[in-house]
Structure 1
Amino acid sequence: MEIVISIAAKIAECTVAPFGQWLSYSFHYNSNIENLKNQEEKLQHTQERVIYSVEAALRNGEEIYLDVSKWLTDVDRIIELATRKLREIEEAGTKSSNAACLNLKHRHQLSREAKKMMENITELLKFGNFDRVSYFPASKGKKKTRKMDYMAMESRMMVVKGIMEALGNAEIDKIGLWGMPGVGKSTLMKEIARQAKEEKLFTEVVMTNVTNNPDVRCIQGEIADLLDLQFDQETEKGRANHLQQRLSKGKNILVILDDIWKAFDLQEIGIPSKGCKVVMTSRDRDVLISGMGTQKAIHELKILRKEEAWNLFEEMAGDSVKDWPEVRGIATKIAEKCAGLPIALVTVSKALKNKSLVIWKDALMQLTRLTPEIWSPVDSCIQLSYEHLDGEEAVKSLFLFFAQQGYYISYQDLLRYGFGLGLFLNIYTLKAARNKLESLVSGDSCLLLESPHSSEKFYMHDLVRDVATIIASKNHNMFVMRDDGRQEAWPDVDALNRCEALSIHGGDIHKHPTKMECPKLRFFHVNCKDSRNLKIPDIFFQGMEKLEVLSLRNIQLSSLFPLTKLQTLCLHGCMLGDIHWIGELKTLVILSLAYSDISNLPREIGLLTRLQLLDLSNCSRLRVIPPNVLSSLVNLEELYMQKINVQWGVEGPNNEGINASLAELKELSHLITIEIDIPDANNLPKDFLNEKFERYKICIGNIRDPFLLGEAAFSRMLKLKLNMSFQLDFGIKMLLERIEYLYLDELNTTKSVLYELDREDFRQLKHFHIQNNVNKKLIPELKTQAVTFPILETFVLKDMINLEEIYQGNLPLESFRNLKVLKVENCEKLRFIFSLSIARGLSLLEELNIIRCNNMGAIFVKEEEDGIKDQGDMMLFGRLQTLVLKDLPKLMGFLSTKDSFMTDCTETNSEGNHDLQLSLLHHYDQLRFPSLRKLHLEGLPKIKHVWSKEPQRMLKFQALQDIYVGKCESLTSLFPAWVLGCLGQLKKIEIYDCRVEEIVAAEEGGVGARTLVFPRVTSLNLTNLQRLKWFYKGMHVSKWPMLKEMKIERCEEVEIFASGVMSFEETVEEIQSEMSIKQPLFLVNKRSFPSLETLHIRNMDKLEIIFEKLEGQNSKEPQVSIISRSEIEESEAATHFVSNLSFPSLETLYISNMDSLEIIFGELEGQNGKESQVLIFSGSGIEENGATIHSVSTVRIHSI
């Protein structure tokens, strides 16, 4: 027949052209089909390469070119069409005994379509070789360059890679990094913390500095702050227990302890031996290995290689080194003097940046001649950087005062100390001083570094601090006492006589003199971990007549001798008692009583008319502020009254009450900064808030936790909780024009605040939280065509029970372009979040949480009026890392058309389940989640599938690490088999309260998977899955090389926990009817669970066999004897026996509440070879010898 067709094809070439062309499709049927297959395969390979580049770019924060996105969409569609067409052709051939016998018309049609499709694919292949698929947005360029300066160097990347691999190793809990001072350990730890957060390896990452004089309370406090944990205990031991409970209960917590000088017990701080990962750095390798137990993972950070050191120096020094040969020659010698240490290279290069040739020569000479006090080349480099600090002498003075403080110093403290000392020359207002300070510390000398925890704090490298301390004491008579073995005793009489600044952070603080004779002292600071019991006598300060700044923390102070030159007084956390003497300090311009125990603010404070800053924040016992005290402070610029419990008086000219009225603050014409919470909105006077406030944090209404740690970075914040009709006055409207953080809680209000605002009010808004407005059906439409939220980063909607749409109408695409976090909770009538036109602009979204929205049918919807055709609908959620969809009873899909899900909502059966078979993420050609780490799905009764059963080439979840699925009643399985190949980073699987019959579903019509591998999963939890029978139906082997914890509970249909695949195959062959075969939950081999430490089995009423005929590695491997109670009752000798079972890492076996199971363990052998006898009997009284399980440390058996 084929020969006939071939001859006919030749004849066709000689016939009339149109007819011949028609026939040629039939005659070239086979070649057209084969060409289509080949071209489709080529296109798939090209597509995979482009996808890999796109996803790598998205993870790196880059934007994808529009032509690349469109090409991928087109490829998706043509591959889908080609796959369908080839399947149709295959089916047509199957129905006929011979494909060649198809009628000519059908052959012509299929061949013509195949050729046309092949030509389209060929055209797409031409445009698939992209030189670049992405670009960096302009705003991200600076960050990228900064990273390239140091962390992109090969020697650093290798160490980072090693530590990140160790963090991913379930066998390793403690990791050590050691290296000489200044080599960059702390910088590298910040990079580890950044990557761990960015890649969502851990749910929480905390980093703290230990130092050579560890303060346990301080370390505990820093860790607790980062975990949002509050201590109720006073003792270090009590705080340690509380912290240990928090770290043990937390999931995937990373603790970084930087700069450890000597070994200590982690549990003294509250860090458990297990439950979290700990990374530690030290200068001493032995401290980490012998003292801290990091022998399994210890890394050394060496100095930079010669070429790396020069590249870093050249990059930091700027164009003068690159373009000026004379300078370049000297620069290479100076770079060599920096000895490959990043801290020296960076500080020196930036100090000499854009300097003249003469200065470069002088610098080289200084580095060549070491002074006796500066004992190493690195110290000499730091001294050189100090001497070349740009600006007036104030910069150097601030630097030296900074070095005398603790490891961290806040921006506020630096401002208050510097202003009190008069370091800002010719500046007389705090506003101007703040601007000046910001310009000084924002310089790029790298001597002051921004804290990784807060933009409001700075710190100094210990090498820099050591050099600065030497310079300060030698040249400026500034001394410091610390518990570091250098200066622990009080300075001698001669030193005190010439001392200008003294900071005490430890040492023999309790051996202080009764009276200090310091005639030149201008700055005195005490902050010791044991200073709470220190009581300073009245006459202590008599010899400090020139004192300008006094800062005391956690000290008992009964009175203070009149200090006639005192400018700044900070009594942070002090026990003060009666402070009526405060009125005698008439020169004060800054007064802070924050965290102190005062209950009544003395009237004498009203005498401090020069006061420009008053801080009463966190004075939890403060109840009384007398009338007319605050209004007397006519020069006040900044007022801090967060978290105080004062019952404000009523507004009026003759307020005779106990407390002042807030109306007094209206009389302070210079007040531009205020931080205050006002629980009762009735106390808010009219026109109190106005546009003169430039920096403000104002909380009106009874809001729990009015000011949180994470909000410190916002300088303009307003929180409103209203339970009455509240008329917005003009002042608040003016504040909103520049607001950064807005929180609205409008319980029972008749009219929303938002109705009184113009959309242009939100030009600088970064965080927007609105809740409890029962009357609002939609957030008001735009009154202008301006972009609504151009820089908004966090958007929270909560308890808006009548809200039907967030926005109605069209918004500019840029409206939410910077949005990173979107949370919607308990909005009962909300049907969807955004239209597709807005959703496509959410390219920076990192977290999406939608919870308890009873009417929501889809997260994003397409509408015809959007005017967007399918071909351009691809949505790249390139940054999305967390997706939480919880308690959404009507949710049909992530993306849908509005008409579709509205129709679906009405087509439900009696059980409330829709009839459609679409998956949650069925629009696979339009959705991309390359960075998704956490997927939490709970309470989604209409979802039958998470992923489509058919393989999808573009929908990849290779970054996914945690999956939580619960209360999804219609779900029949979690994974289709094809998706497992995309989940190489998966670490945790938890499924609960679902009706799944299997966890992994086979592809329909495909070949069953022979091996299911979960290479990185460490935790598996299957709870209350009443219909679950097996993990995967059919012949297979499942492997879990890193699984440490497994919990199976209330899966009542499971009868056999695990069986060897070989024995199961034998059973299938022996039994003709597969209906009588009891398939185990897992089919495994001897290497399936090599790392399992904890096995928890509970409430499995039908479970008869835990392990059946598993082949071990050798005769010494563990054996477990299992007896089924039901079979004992029917047969006297029936016993299921487990032979040679291998669990080399098992530590805990927990078995509880299983009616059908009898277990008898005998002669359990541990790792140390010692045998421990654990015997468990059932009511039958039968005892069998049996199980040897290596490493078992705990066996708990209950109610079997």
Structure 2
Amino acid sequence: MCSPQGIMDNIIGKAMDAAFQVVKCTIHYKKNHKDLKDEMENFKKLSKLAQEIKENVTNLKREGHFTEIAFSKPPPPELQFRSDDDYEIFDSRASIFKMVVDTLKDSKVTVIGVHGTGGVGKTTLVKEISKQLKEDRTFDEVVMAVVSRNANVSKIQSQLVGPLNLDLSNATTEEQISYKLWHRLNNGKKNLVILDDIWKEVNLKAIGIPVTDGNKGCKVVITSRNRGVLLRNMKVDRDFALPLLPEPEAWTLFEKVVGNSVDSPELYSIAYATTRLRMWSKCKMHNVTRDVGISIAQEYLVEHGVVSEWPKKRKYESYSEISIRSRSMDELPNELACPQLRILMLESNNPSLLKVPDGFFSGMKELEVIDFNRMCMSPLPSSLPKLANLQMLCLNECKLADIAILKDLQGTLEMLSLRGSDIEVLPQEIGHLTRLRLLDLRYCGELKVIPHGVISNLTCLEELYFSDQFYQWDKKKTSGNVSLDELRSLTRLTTLHVHIPKDMLFPKESSLNFENLVRFKISIACVHYRVVAHSAATRFLNLEEIPLKAELNTLVEKAEELHLLGVEGLKKVLHDRGGGEGFLSLKFLRVQSCYDLDHLLGKPKWFMQPSRSFNKLTTLIIRDCRLKYLSSPSSIRGLLQLKQLDVAFPSLKRLVINQCSQITDVWDKKMLPSESFFQLRTVTVITCGKLVNVFGPIMVSRLQNLQEVFIAHCPNMEVIISKKGEEEEPNDNIVLPQLTNLNLQSLKNLKSFCTTRSEVGSLFNHKVAFPALEILRIQSCSQIADNLQEVSIDHCPDMEVIISKKGEEEGDEGAEPNDNIVLPQLRNLELRDLKNLKSFCTTISEAGSLFNHQVIFPALERLGIWDVHNITDIWDKQSLAVQYKARSFCQLTTMTVSDCKDLRNVFPSNILPWLHNLDELNVSKCPNMEVIVFKNTKEEETINDDLILFPRLRTIEILSMENLKSFCDSSERSDAQPLFNHQVWMS
């Protein structure tokens, strides 16, 4: 069977020959037609030749009727061999990488093998090698198949034929497919086949891989865990071993995969030990891990989902662990005989809560862990405190009453969690549990009483979690409730979650020691700060309207997420430190209403040495502050600027500046380190009265990852990106490739997005590009609206609306609008390649129309619409009266519409009286358009039914309009209707 390419080459060749004969005959006729009047014999010969050409062309037309008009395109190589962007060739891998590449270029080698432990990176290595060899043209084509343990010829063949674009219409058996593969891979080109994860011998000839007959054009790379399979069964020419990563490289890879987590002091030693475990080298195959897991699981019972009753006795009495999650179970057995049970986990989603019988635990003498969720434990079963080996008790979201009998577990219990339960009083007897290492009272909203002395008695506590809603601290030691002073007794404490009312100061007689805390969520504020509960940070600190006490300095230093609201004394913490080595773990910083600060960063001597401060900071929020600059004033010449000098913020992704009235520049124009702000994703600037721009010249190259910009209520803002003071290069374009959302509101003096030498009054000029923009919102920017002369939006495939008014109050459909968007100076509007655009402005207008009553263009002269696929109408017919009253579109002289596949017409007939200045009309490639002018018979306005008038129209161009039936919609429709009828008049 001929290939599609061969068929087309044959047809095209014949067509070219026929065309040449036609041209030759025509030239001969033009040259000799005068003489032919007297030479009839020559005329007969020419006629005969013309007849032969005609028959030839007729046959060609017949051959040109294909049963298939398209053939599937093979997937691009980058889809088959997608490279891991994070792939790193370590030193131990580099030599192997090079040897494999060099061997594949050796003409004497046909089949090579790569072997190593499962998961060591064989597949990734050969993919990267194949990608390089394809890019440097060592091989013309590279295909890959995953073989796996159950090798199957048909499965391997199916993975190879797709990328090779083989036609299998006449091949149904393995032998037929093998024949086609053989000839496809033996086509004289340099081909590479990768067979990944081979466990046993695979017959290459049966698959159709032509390497057994001494063919040098096709080569094969095979990966396996077993070297013997490669040498004995596959008889490879060369083999390469891929060993485990050395310890330093393993640690580097571990850091890359895990991220910043390994920087946590408490995790570092564990993480590093994990990479050094020698036991991993004994697990040579993944199935070993699986088999071990199966053998362990035989001791466990896990029932989740539809469990309506307790499992039968024979199912659970030998288990060491039981985990049951039920939605519909109504009751539990009164007593269970589980002599080997060590762990019991029950969770009920029954709204009535599953009640635990009094003797439920009697037959579980070895029980060590109880984890109950949403169960009824009121009263506590009397069999519970008799569990002599119980170490962990979790009664999360359970119904509880008196839990005093838990004191009988004082000899063994180490972990007690009452999280989310309805307990109101923590009894005095809990203080007897002196072996407790963890006490969790989070989300206990009803808890009001913790007797004095209970917490201080638990001297072994390492983790203590109070409810965020617990405020009843005893300030004067008179109420009998717990006091902050009791925390002094907990010398082993490493984790503390607590909310403290701001008027509850720390004990004056002695300071609390927070030096040992490695995890904490501490809020000192007037009310519960809701962000605490939702924060994922392991070290969270919120301070509100308090003087900063010395004992809190350590927490400020260690915090990952830090909220400072109206805090006094920040200068000592933020400024009085040396070396620029503070805040090494800080990822989120919010500073609000801290009026005694005029800058955040420390002393000038910081800037004489490298600084790692704020290196992990991803979010910075500054609100209602009198900051003049971020760094020390003597370091930046006293300018009123928010700046970053040596502190580079290399990880910052989100920046919010709100109500900072003294700031005139966000970034210093000349002193930013090269790595600063490259990760910036979101910038929000609100109510900064002196700010005249957001981004200076030095920031433009750092905005490649910027995704969202929101600027509002900055009355002196004139430009978003300022390039003043920088020489403009011919190709000095500003491209924000990741920007999806641009929101500009209440910027009454905004004149342009970027200051360049572009036309005055242009918001976006040809040097500014947003290829990924989806949302553009411009509201209450009067200078833009008043002076804007040209708008061109090109290639924003995800954009649905140009001006969004969502969230604003809209009037009734029939009401007179009072919030119109008027662009009085706009002369030119171009919309290109906006495939998802639905409307220029979001309103209650008719679905599918581009312009509605809230957009007014009284001076618009040129309107161009290209590749806007979602609109069905350009004008909303229901709002034309409002538009006409505002004289919108009355100056339009040139209109172009092209490639709008859903557009049904260009003009509704009742807009024509406005278009008396239209001089040129171009319409092309709108496949669903049947008429240019649509006559709405329901329209009540007075329209001359007998005349469509274009008094100044001089040029009209209509191209590639396959379904166009008439220029004007007519009630007298017929199959033979002319394009222009008596109703159309163009003077």
Equivalences for residues 1090-1129 of structure 1 within 5 A: 1090=902, 1113=928, 1121=936, 1127=942
- Label 1:512 to 1:704 Cα distance change in 2 as closer, same or farther (>3 A): closer
CA contact (8 A) 1:1057 1:1081 kept: no
- Find the residue that maps to 1:582 and give its secondary structure: helix
- Label 1:488 to 1:958 Cα distance change in 2 as closer, same or farther (>3 A): same
Code of the residue aligned with 2:782 in structure 1: it is E
2:333 aligned residue: 513
The structure carrying a bigger helix percent of its residues is 1
CA contact (8 A) 1:497 1:520 kept: yes
- Find the residue that maps to 2:784 and give its secondary structure: coil
1:794 aligned residue: 618
Map Cα deviations across residues 326-346 of structure 1 (whole Å, 9 max, x no partner).
Answer: 96525769999xxxxxxxxxx
Answering whether residue 672 of structure 2 is matched by residue 838 of structure 1, we say yes
2:395, 2:696 → 1: CA distance?
57
Code of the residue aligned with 1:698 in structure 2: it is I
TM-superposed deviation, 1:874:
5.9
**Partner residue of 1:715 out of 508, 521, 538:** 538
After superposition, the CA RMSD in angstroms is 5.7
Answering whether residue 703 of structure 2 is matched by residue 877 of structure 1, we say yes
2:322 aligned residue: 502
CA contact (8 A) 1:963 1:988 kept: yes
1:607 aligned residue: 432
**Partner residue of 2:458 out of 613, 625, 633:** 633
TM-superposed deviation, 1:859:
1.9
TM-superposed deviation, 1:1055:
2.7
- Label 1:1084 to 1:593 Cα distance change in 2 as closer, same or farther (>3 A): farther
Answering whether residue 537 of structure 2 is matched by residue 680 of structure 1, we say no
1:660 aligned residue: 482
Code of the residue aligned with 1:1121 in structure 2: it is N
Answering whether residue 862 of structure 2 is matched by residue 964 of structure 1, we say no
1:1081, 1:472 → 2: CA distance?
81
**Partner residue of 1:728 out of 518, 531, 549:** 549
2:409 aligned residue: 585
TM-superposed deviation, 1:995:
5.6
**Partner residue of 2:689 out of 854, 857, 869:** 854
Code of the residue aligned with 2:623 in structure 1: it is D
CA contact (8 A) 1:551 1:571 kept: yes
Q: TM-score, normalised by structure 1?
A: 0.48
2:341, 2:495 → 1: CA distance?
31
Equivalences for residues 261-660 of structure 1 within 5 A: 307=194, 309-310=196-197, 328-330=226-228, 470-474=294-298, 477-483=299-305, 490-506=310-326, 509-510=329-330, 512-530=332-350, 533-557=353-377, 558-560=379-381, 561=383, 562=385, 563-586=387-410, 587-650=412-475, 655-660=477-482
Percent of aligned pairs sharing the same letter: 21
CA contact (8 A) 1:532 1:554 kept: no
CA contact (8 A) 2:196 2:222 kept: no
CA contact (8 A) 2:795 2:833 kept: no
1:775, 1:656 → 2: CA distance?
36
Map Cα deviations across residues 578-601 of structure 1 (whole Å, 9 max, x no partner).
Answer: 222222221110010001111111
Answering whether residue 593 of structure 2 is matched by residue 772 of structure 1, we say yes
- Find the residue that maps to 1:482 and give its secondary structure: strand
CA contact (8 A) 1:634 1:669 kept: yes
- Label 1:877 to 1:525 Cα distance change in 2 as closer, same or farther (>3 A): same
2:789, 2:198 → 1: CA distance?
50
Code of the residue aligned with 1:842 in structure 2: it is F
- Find the residue that maps to 1:835 and give its secondary structure: coil
- Find the residue that maps to 2:615 and give its secondary structure: coil
- Find the residue that maps to 1:843 and give its secondary structure: coil
- Label 1:934 to 1:496 Cα distance change in 2 as closer, same or farther (>3 A): same
TM-superposed deviation, 1:438:
9.3
TM-superposed deviation, 1:728:
2.4
- Label 1:804 to 1:673 Cα distance change in 2 as closer, same or farther (>3 A): same
1:149, 1:999 → 2: CA distance?
60
Code of the residue aligned with 1:524 in structure 2: it is L
Answering whether residue 736 of structure 2 is matched by residue 929 of structure 1, we say yes
TM-superposed deviation, 1:569:
0.4
- Find the residue that maps to 2:486 and give its secondary structure: helix
Equivalences for residues 943-982 of structure 1 within 5 A: 943-946=750-753, 949=758, 955-972=768-785, 980-981=793-794
TM-superposed deviation, 1:61:
9.8
Farther-moved stretch of structure 1 (638-647 vs 849-858): 638-647
1:1040 aligned residue: 868
- Find the residue that maps to 2:710 and give its secondary structure: strand
1:822, 1:845 → 2: CA distance?
8
- Find the residue that maps to 1:614 and give its secondary structure: strand
2:810 aligned residue: none
- Label 1:704 to 1:432 Cα distance change in 2 as closer, same or farther (>3 A): closer
2:826, 2:888 → 1: CA distance?
22
CA contact (8 A) 1:481 1:490 kept: no
2:660, 2:494 → 1: CA distance?
38
Report how many residues are paired: 675
- Label 1:442 to 1:662 Cα distance change in 2 as closer, same or farther (>3 A): farther
- Label 1:1045 to 1:473 Cα distance change in 2 as closer, same or farther (>3 A): farther
- Label 1:1077 to 1:818 Cα distance change in 2 as closer, same or farther (>3 A): closer
TM-superposed deviation, 1:719:
0.9
Code of the residue aligned with 2:713 in structure 1: it is D
TM-superposed deviation, 1:1088:
3.3
Instruction: Please list every run of 5 or more consecutive structure 1 residues that lacks an aligned counterpart in the other structure.
Output: 1-58, 63-144, 156-180, 184-304, 314-321, 337-348, 356-389, 391-411, 413-430, 447-460, 863-871, 901-917, 1003-1007, 1059-1074, 1137-1161, 1163-1200
- Label 1:684 to 1:1122 Cα distance change in 2 as closer, same or farther (>3 A): farther
TM-superposed deviation, 1:709:
6.5
TM-superposed deviation, 1:509:
3.6
1:1088 aligned residue: 900
- Find the residue that maps to 1:583 and give its secondary structure: helix
- Label 1:508 to 1:890 Cα distance change in 2 as closer, same or farther (>3 A): closer
TM-superposed deviation, 1:540:
0.7
2:733, 2:863 → 1: CA distance?
35
Map Cα deviations across residues 23-50 of structure 1 (whole Å, 9 max, x no partner).
Answer: xxxxxxxxxxxxxxxxxxxxxxxxxxxx
TM-superposed deviation, 1:514:
1.2
1:1132, 1:1120 → 2: CA distance?
9
2:416, 2:232 → 1: CA distance?
46
1:1116, 1:1132 → 2: CA distance?
16
Code of the residue aligned with 1:931 in structure 2: it is Q
Code of the residue aligned with 1:537 in structure 2: it is P
TM-superposed deviation, 1:944:
2.5
1:669 aligned residue: 491
1:505, 1:496 → 2: CA distance?
15
TM-superposed deviation, 1:470:
4.5
TM-superposed deviation, 1:766:
1.7
Q: Relative contact order (C-alpha < 8 Å, sep 6+): which is higher?
A: 1
Code of the residue aligned with 2:541 in structure 1: it is L
Instruction: Please list every run of 5 or more consecutive structure 2 residues that lacks an aligned counterpart in the other structure.
Output: 1-83, 88-120, 132-147, 151-191, 201-219, 235-240, 251-260, 281-285, 637-643, 806-818, 844-851, 950-970, 972-987
